Amino acid sequence: MSFTLIDLKVEAAIATITLNRPDKRNAMSDDMRSEFIEALEQVAADKSIKALVLTGAGKGFCAGGDIAGMERRMNAPAGEIGFNGWHRQQRVHHTQSLLHTMPKPVIAAVNGAASGLGADTALACDFIIASEFATFTWSYINRGIIPDGGGMYFLPRRVGLPRAKELIFTGRKVDADEALTLGIVDRKSSSATLVADAQAWAAELGAGSATALALTKTILNQSFELSSHDVFAQGSQAQGICYTSTAHRNSVMAFLSKAAAPANKE
């Protein structure tokens, strides 16, 4: 599939997806979402890719849902609005799930405004690095709707329940410095080096065993909902898989070879 509303590049085993509707501050239209899903599935399936960086073209990261799409939904026949909305939600949730469950590290490089669905999209990634121009706002309340991109799940896990309620109830804007203080953002970077810094961090995060990373991430993503017994049980199964992996065998054999080598004599 050729992409026009996003850009996908792979360099040195790091994929970078750029949302590419800068004139609309990268608002997520239905067409963009289709391309985004295709790109995420492609990255997830490509074993040569070790990590993913997500950013936006121009001044914005993602302005949320496309207003033109909202207008079309409101103008649909009354008997179709509910089902159309349900269908759209399935696509939204599929997209966010692809980010959240990506079997490799994902970093959001937030270059500008991340609003509504844009803020949720950043939260669906494993880590967030922000430029000095980044802002975050869960502005759904201003449209009379609820956070539908995972914000009600992800945000409390980053900032705690009372703070998440305050940010969602008010829809107020959070700048990069406050976001870093609250824990919404993990790192801050200059706009001039934001993507390069994110790519370097992604390379560091993705350098280990792809098998171990994917299995660990899968379990960690569920750890708040699971009992310790369940985490240990899933961990036992995952470790059994790791024992059979090429990465584990090679690392053990390399260690044993080094330990068996005679000491150098001067």
Q: Which two tokens stand for residue 251?
A: 């690392």
Q: Which two tokens stand for residue 189?
A: 């970077």
Q: Which residues contact 153 (CB under 8 A, 6 or more apart)?
A: none
- So what's the pLDDT on residue 180? 98
In angstroms, the CA 251 to CA 26 distance is 43
14 contacts 53 by C-beta, under 8 angstroms: yes
26 contacts 61 by C-beta, under 8 angstroms: yes
Residue 67 binned pLDDT confidence (cut-offs 50, 70, 90): low
- So what's the pLDDT on residue 70? 63
> What average pLDDT does range 13-24 have in this prediction?
97
- So what's the pLDDT on residue 84? 78
* Residues 118-127 pLDDT 10s: 999 999 999 9
Positive or negative, the CA dihedral 64, 66, 67, 71 is negative
Q: Which two tokens stand for residue 195?
A: 């993507």
The mean pLDDT value of the chain amounts to 93
* Residues 23-58 pLDDT 10s: 999 999 999 999 999 999 999 999 999 999 999 999
Q: Where are the alpha helices (DSSP H) in 76-116?
A: 78-100
pTM reported for the whole predicted model: 0.91
> What average pLDDT does range 207-236 have in this prediction?
96
- So what's the pLDDT on residue 87? 82
Q: Which two tokens stand for residue 129?
A: 């690095």
Residue 79 binned pLDDT confidence (cut-offs 50, 70, 90): confident
In angstroms, the CA 129 to CA 82 distance is 37
105 contacts 205 by C-beta, under 8 angstroms: yes
